[in-house]
Every structure is written in C-alpha cells, then in structure tokens.
C-alpha cells in the first residue's frame, strides 16, 4: 500500500473520530475523551492537511475559520418562509388553542411536542449531500442574510452530518444562542478592554453572528439547538416532530435535551410549570415554551393563519417586574418623525438585565399611568425584551410634582409637532429637514418604488449624511463622481454608475415623486390617486383639507397630514430646491371615480414575462385600481404569472377570478 493511500485513510479516520467526539460532546453532552486527547486528534489532522493540502475539504473540522472578512452580507430568499408563532400569555389561551385544534381535527386528545422557547437568533442551515452549504438568518421570514462563514465557526453545528440516511437536501432550522456563562465571560472581556457591554445573551448572540469578520464570531461562545426542518428533497423524514428531532440528533445536530412529548393541554401546562421552576438553573435564556402538534399529518390538516401555523403556539413566561424611580422624561424623535417620551430610570435589574430607560409610548400612556418625574414606578420587561412602566406607586409620591406634556415643537429641528385627531402619536412635521429623520427620509426618497436611484443603499446614505455631503435629498443632485468615489467601499466606476442613476431619477412621475416625499400616511396608492385627481404638485400643495378629502380614499387624517407637510416652512424650502433640479411633468387630471378600474382590487402573483410585478401594479394603479398584497373575498381579480405560489391557490379556493398574462393585457387593452 502506497503512503498516499495510508495518509488518505488516516485523514478520513481522524475526521470521523472528531465528528463522533463532537457528537458526544455537543449533542449527547456525554464526552468519551478528555479535551487534551481531542486536541491531539485535531492537531494530527491539521499537520496532515498542512503536508497534503490537496486532501483538505470544505467540511473538514479544521476548516471552520479562515474565510476573509465580508464587505456586506448577501441576501438569501427562504424557499419555505420561516414563520413566526402566535403567543399565549395566559393558561386560558393555551386551553383555547388546544380546543380549536381538537375541534378542527375531530379528536379528543392531541399529542404535543414541547420544548423551551430559546431567546436567541433564528437560523436556517442548508445541507447538501450531508455537507453544510449555506446558513441564513430568518430576516423578515421571507428573506434573510447569508451568514455561512460565521455559522461555520460554531463548533456545535456540524460541517458534515453523521450517518448515511439523511436526505440529499436538508434544511435544518434552529436558534443560535449564547450560554449564560459564555455571556458573562464575554462581557468581562469587554469590560477589561473598555468595550461596549452587551445588554443580554440574545443581543450578544445576534451581534456575534452578524459580524462581517468570521474570526470575531469564532471568538464568541455561541451554541445552537435545532427546532425544526424546512426544505427536504431526495429523502424522507419521520411522521412526527419529536421523531424528526431524534433523527436530527442522530445526524450530530444538537436538539434541546428538555424536549418532550406530552398529552393534551394539561400536559403542556404541567411542562410549562416545570420549566418555569427550572428556568434559572438552565445555562441559557428561555422566555417561554413552544407547543407543537406532534403528528405532521395533523399539522398539515390544521394549516396556517396569516403568518403563523395553527398547529403551534409560544406560551410566554410572565414578565419580571421591579420597583425604581423616574429621574426624568426625555423625548426621542424616531426615523419616521414620531416623538416618543422615554423615562430615565434609576438603574435596576429586571429579568437579569440592567434597565435604565423605559418607553412611555405616547402622551396617552403618560396620562393613563399619571407618571410624573420623581415617581416610584413598577417596571417590567414586556415579553422579557422591552422595558415598560406598569404602574405608579402613588403611596410613595412626595409633594405635588407637575404633570408632563410632550413639547409643541420637535426637540431636534424645532418644527411644529402635531397630533392628528384620532391618533395617539405626535409627529414632527419637518420630514424633509429634520436631522433625526434625515437618513431615513433620504433612504425612502431613493428607494425603488420612489425615485428608484439604483446603488443608493442604506450604508451609502449613512456615509453621505455623516460626512456632511447630503443634508437633504436635494443635495443628492449636486454630488460629483469624485465625492462619491472617495467614500469607503466606493470606486470611480461604482461612483460613476451612482451619479448616472441620480441623473436618471431627475425624470420621474408625479405619483412617484409624491410618494418619495415620505408624507405621513401617503403610500403608493394614495400618491397615485392624488396625482390623477389634481394633476400637478402645485395643485396638491395649495389644496385645503376639505379639497383633499374630496379625493376617494383620502380621509381627514391623511388630508391633515398632507396640509401639515406642505405648511411647514422647512419642507417647502427643500421642496423648492428639489423642483429646481427635477423635471416633473403634469399628470392628465381625471376624477378618481372616472378611472376605468376605480373600486376594483387586484393582486399580482408569480413572474410576468414582459414586465415586473411592480410595473404591473403601476399600470393597475394608473387605471384607478387598488393593489393588495393578499387575496381575500373582496379581491376582484388575481393576475397570475409563472410560479404563482399560494396566492393563486387561495384565489382558486375562494372562487376569485384569475387572469393569466394574456388575459391581463386583454383587460388593459379594453380600457
């Protein structure tokens, strides 16, 4: 036997041994060898791979770290959406959930798979032929971020599955967490370096996983537990959730050891009470329990409602409460201009986190609680996340502290702050000018559905504003290639493309421009309706509340928002500067009710061959139609392209008329 064959066999043997010991350590929590013995195996493999680099494979345990830092994360679209769960806070809600499930299934009792609800970051792991190929965050449930390089550094996640009976394509879903001991150690290191301390293990886990440099992630004590699967191809999984989890465990994927199968709602509640008592002794944070109908055929029969399954629910633990003092009340101006009062508190530990601030939401909440500076209050972390004041301990109130009222002017730009009738939120009216809203207003202005400035990403906007190159959106049109090329991660070619995209946006439609201004409550459909009704921006600027309300779908709140926007001096100044550099053609004026598709609701789904879905929606809105994002009984038509998905199925089930691409064009041609 040649030495090459001997080396190949030894490398394969070492990888199998290391994978087996990782499985014993991370999955079974029952190691067979000492850390030093494990280290010797790893060092031998590293030395052999150094001598014979042609034997290195991506799923070798030596290849967890080594990729170069990224400039940004790329997007990953989840083939099967990662849905959220409905929450239950009271036992009665769990009983109601169980009753609804039993009634729909027509059974007397249901077996539930139960497990702790981990307080971490949801992640998707895609394995192809047993090797980890991609990892992505949950994101918005449909689109997440590619964090493959970082996930590869987490020792608990196998780069290659054990065994042979796994599907050729297997998506594992779970939670990346930071154990308590690791969190405490990390914060101690941060403290010694004078760095920023993490508020809680969840924030630490999320921040660690979203590092552009995987070496930083590798230095953080992250763990992982699987809670389900997504895409499965060329292979089968067991018929129950619990057996699937056992199968994942046999393939070296960590599964929470506290997982169980219980009978009925009472079994769920008993498990909940047991875990509530055990909660503080666990080495990781949990904020409740997840109950899932165990049988997959029953899950399929129960189906989904909105963005959550009917076969699962999260039973949250009660929020923990403490008493403290209100030292002051400040006002924060959010990216949308909302003025939010914030109570500055005497720091207090609540649920393991030091709390020094609590949102008061709005003036109504301040009045409801009758909170005054100097009051003793009970503070709670709602859902174990957001600190909020529950009540005032009035017996401890001293003297007659005055009531607090939100200011009449924005504390950042001093524009008038208004609260529209029927609304609870107070807004700054200086949307185009206010520094607190500046970055967000420019991002919105440049977005695809607004002025469509390709290449104007969030990070670029932040750089332009931070370096003083752009103070409002009109400044975009005076940028030069040299200024943009000098920015971080920009070069002359990309800068030139951006300037071209900015110049292209000088020619737009009234509806797009109106939407781009970011007027509170004015979305795409309302902007299109206003453009069609008034025909020019000048007419909209001069319109009274009464005249605006004559437009269909424009009520008193929207009308007042529009008037307030154009009444603000700073907004008018920015608007005049914009109109000096943008060509804004007038739109042929037509009464909205005269448009051929007025009063009709459409949904567009699938891929169209000769236009994008957004272009199709623009055509429909221009004809007076309302374009919705979901199908209901009130939908008049569904436009169906290739690979339409669930919307077409729902339309078919509800009997909603569907038009293919040919039918869609015939409809437009007939108008």
List the single range of 190-204, 231-245, 538-552 with lowest mean pLDDT.
190-204
Q: What are phi and psi of 560, to 5 degrees?
A: -65, -35
Residue at 636 is within a domain? yes
Residue 314 and residue 569: Cα distance in Å, rounded? 49
457 in the same domain as 381: no
Q: Is residue 257 part of a domain?
A: yes
Range of the domain at 25: 3-63
Assigned domain for 30 exists: yes
Across residues 442-466, what is the average pLDDT? 92
Average pLDDT, rounded, for the chain: 87
pLDDT at position 1: 41
pLDDT in tens, 345-359: 999 888 667 889 998
User: Do 330 and 243 sit in the same domain of this protein?
Assistant: no
- Residue 664 counted as domain residue: yes
Same-domain pairing of 164 and 303: yes
Is pLDDT above 80 for 553? no
Strand ranges across the sheet with 121-128: 131-137, 121-128, 169-177, 223-233
Q: Are 57 and 49 in contact (CB under 8 A)?
A: no
- Pairwise pLDDT comparison (66 vs 250), residue with the higher score: 250
Say yes or no: 250 and 327 in one domain: no
Average pLDDT over residues 220-231: 93
Residue 21 lies in a domain: yes
Of 334, 366, 396, the residue at which a domain comes to its end is 396
pLDDT higher than threshold 90 for residue 113: yes
Residues 387 and 519 in one domain: no
In a domain, 642, yes or no: yes
Q: What is the sign of the dihedral through the CA atoms of 585, 586, 588 and 590?
A: positive
Least reliable range by pLDDT among 165-174, 283-292, 659-668: 659-668
CA 178/CA 203 separation, integer angstroms:
9
Q: Which residues contact 268 (CB under 8 A, 6 or more apart)?
A: 94, 98, 112, 114, 262, 289, 291, 315
Segment 270-288 shows an average pLDDT of: 90
Summarize the confidence of residues 241-247 as an average pLDDT: 96
CB 105 within 8 A of CB 297: no
Is 117 an active-site residue? yes
Question: What pLDDT score was predicted for residue 470?
Answer: 94
Rounded CA-CA distance 481/495 in Å is 5
Gyration radius from the chain CA atoms? 29
Q: Given 551, 579, 607, which residue is the final one in a domain?
A: 579
Sign of the Cα torsion 385, 386, 387, 390 reads negative
Tell whether the torsion through CA atoms of 609, 612, 618 and 621 is positive or negative.
Answer: positive
The 3-state DSSP class for residue 171 equals strand
Residue 407 has pLDDT above 50, yes or no: yes
**What total number of domains does the chain contain?**
5
Report the SS3 class of residue 355: strand
pLDDT digits (tens, 9 = 90+) for 562-573: 999 999 898 999
Using alpha carbons, select from 604, 597, 605 the residue that is nearest to residue 625: 597
* 225 in the same domain as 136: yes
| H, E, C per residue of 236-290 | CCCCEHHHHHHHHHHCCCCECCCCEEEEHHHHHHHHHHHHHHHHHHCCCCEEEEE
| Domain endpoint, select from 532, 553, 579 | 579
User: Could you give the percent of the chain with pLDDT greater than 70?
Assistant: 94
pLDDT tens digit sequence for 44-92: 888 888 788 888 888 788 877 655 556 678 889 999 988 888 888 889 9
Which residue would you say has higher pLDDT here, 667 or 272?
272
Note whether 102 and 158 are same-domain residues.
yes
Do the domain assignments include residue 326?
A: yes
For residue 344, what is the domain's CATH number?
Answer: 2.40.50.140
pLDDT at 30 over 80: no
SS3 23: helix
111-120, 351-360, 464-473, 490-499: the lowest-pLDDT one: 351-360
| SS3 label, residue 585 | coil
Give me the pLDDT at residue 371, please: 93
Give the per-residue pLDDT at 172: 97
* Three-state DSSP class for residue 224: strand
- Residue 619: closest CA among 669, 552, 668, 671: 668
Q: Which two tokens stand for residue 49?
A: 């791979």
Residues sharing a CB contact under 8 Å with residue 306, sequence separation 6 or more, in sequence order: none
Residues 289 and 162 in one domain: yes
549, 555 Cβ separation under 8 angstroms: yes
Annotated catalytic residue, options 117, 443, 617, 626 = 117
CA distances from 437 to 51, 334, 429, 564 (A): 57, 7, 10, 16
The model's pLDDT over 130-183, given as tens digits with 9 standing for 90+, comes to 999 999 998 878 888 899 988 998 989 999 999 889 999 999 999 999 998 888
Paired tokens of 460: 């670029």
pLDDT category, 594, cuts 50, 70, 90? low
Q: 293 pairs with which residues across the strands?
A: 112
Q: DSSP of 453-517, one letter per residue?
A: -TT--HHHHHHHHHTTS-SSGGGGGG--HHHHHTSTT--HHHHHHHHHHHHHTTB--HHHHHHHT
379/324 Cα distance (integer angstroms): 7
545 and 638, same structural domain?
Answer: no
CA–CA separation, 243 vs 441, rounded Å? 50
- 587 falls within a domain: no
Evaluate if residue 402 carries a pLDDT over 80.
yes
- CATH number reported for the structural domain that contains residue 545 in this entry: 1.10.150.20
* 490 in the same domain as 562: yes
In this structure, what DSSP letter does residue 220 have?
A: S
pLDDT score at 554: 83
Report the pLDDT averaged over residues 303-331. 86
Residues 283 and 157 in one domain: yes
Query: Do 177 and 206 fall into the same domain?
Result: yes
Q: Would you mind telling me the total number of residues written for the chain in this entry? A: 671
pLDDT band (50, 70, 90) for residue 39 = confident
Query: Six-digit token pair at 448?
Result: 């695809």
CATH code at position 23:
1.10.287.610
What's the pLDDT score for residue 555?
A: 82
CATH code, 290: 3.30.470.30
């Amino acid at each position: 036997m040649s030495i090459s064959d001997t080396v190949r066999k030894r490398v394969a043997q070492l990888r199998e041994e290391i994978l087996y010991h990782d499985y014993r350590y991370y999955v079974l929590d029952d190691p067979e060898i000492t850390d030093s013995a494990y280290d010797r195996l790893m060092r031998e493999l590293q030395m052999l791979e150094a001598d014979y680099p042609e034997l290195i494979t991506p799923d070798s345990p030596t290849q967890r770290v080594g990729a170069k830092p990224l400039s940004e994360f790329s997007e990953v679209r989840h083939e099967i959406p990662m849905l959220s769960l409905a929450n239950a806070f009271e036992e009665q809600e769990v009983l109601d959930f169980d009753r609804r499930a039993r009634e729909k299934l027509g059974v007397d009792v249901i077996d539930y798979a139960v497990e702790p609800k981990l307080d971490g970051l949801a992640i998707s792991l895609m394995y192809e032929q047993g090797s980890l190929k991609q990892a992505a965050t949950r994101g918005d449930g449909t689109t997440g971020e590619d964090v493959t390089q970082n996930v590869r550094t987490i020792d608990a996640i196998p780069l290659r599955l054990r065994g042979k009976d796994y599907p050729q394509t297997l998506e594992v879903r779970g939670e990346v967490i930071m154990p308590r001991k690791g969190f405490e150690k990390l914060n101690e290191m941060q403290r010694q370096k004078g760095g920023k301390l993490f508020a809680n293990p969840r924030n630490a886990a999320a921040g660690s996983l979203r590092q552009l440099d995987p070496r930083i992630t590798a230095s953080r004590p992250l763990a992982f537990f699987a809670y389900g699967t997504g895409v499965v191809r060329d292979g089968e999984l067991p018929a129950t959730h619990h057996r699937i989890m056992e199968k994942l465990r046999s393939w070296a994927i960590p599964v929470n050891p506290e997982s169980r199968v219980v009978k009925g709602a009472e079994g769920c509640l008993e498990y909940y009470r047991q875990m509530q008592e055990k909660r503080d002794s666990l080495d990781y944070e949990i904020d409740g329990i997840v109950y899932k109908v165990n049988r997959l055929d029953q899950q399929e029969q129960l189906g989904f409602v909105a963005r959550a399954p009917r076969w699962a629910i999260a039973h949250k633990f009660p929020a923990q409460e403490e008493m403290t003092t209100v030292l002051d009340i400040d006002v924060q101006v959010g990216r949308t201009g909302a003025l939010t009062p914030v109570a500055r508190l005497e720091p207090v530990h609540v649920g393991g986190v030091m709390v020094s601030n609590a949102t008061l939401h709005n003036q109504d909440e301040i009045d409801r609680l009758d909170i005054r500076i100097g009051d003793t209050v009970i503070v709670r972390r709602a859902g174990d996340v957001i600190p909020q004041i529950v009540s005032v301990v009035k017996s401890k109130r001293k003297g007659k502290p005055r009531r607090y009222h939100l200011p009449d002017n924005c504390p950042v730009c001093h524009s008038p702050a208004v609260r529209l009738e029927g609304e609870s939120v107070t807004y700054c009216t200086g949307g185009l000018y206010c520094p607190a809203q500046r970055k967000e207003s420019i991002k919105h202005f440049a977005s695809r559905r607004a002025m469509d400035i390709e290449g104007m990403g969030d990070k670029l906007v932040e750089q332009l504003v931070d370096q003083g190159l752009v103070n409002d959106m009109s400044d975009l049109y005076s940028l030069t290639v040299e200024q943009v090329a000098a920015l971080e991660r920009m070069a002359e070619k990309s800068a030139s493309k951006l300037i071209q995209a900015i110049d292209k946006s000088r020619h737009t439609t009234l509806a797009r421009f109106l939407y781009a201004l970011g007027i509170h409550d004015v979305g795409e459909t309302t902007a299109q309706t206003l453009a069609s009704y008034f025909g020019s921006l000048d007419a909209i600027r001069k319109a009274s509340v009464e005249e605006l309300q004559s437009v269909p779908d424009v009520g008193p709140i929207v009308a007042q928002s529009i008037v307030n926007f154009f009444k603000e001096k700073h907004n008018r100044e920015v608007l005049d500067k914009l109109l000096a550099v943008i060509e804004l053609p007038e739109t042929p004026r037509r009464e909205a009710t005269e448009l051929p598709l007025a009063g009709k609701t459409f949904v567009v789904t699938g891929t169209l061959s000769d236009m994008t879905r957004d272009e199709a929606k623009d055509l429909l809105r221009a004809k007076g139609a309302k374009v919705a994002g979901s199908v209901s009984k009130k939908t008049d038509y569904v436009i169906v392209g290739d690979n339409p998905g669930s919307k077409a199925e729902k339309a078919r089930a509800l009997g909603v008329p569907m038009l293919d691409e040919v039918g869609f064009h015939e409809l437009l041609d007939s108008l």
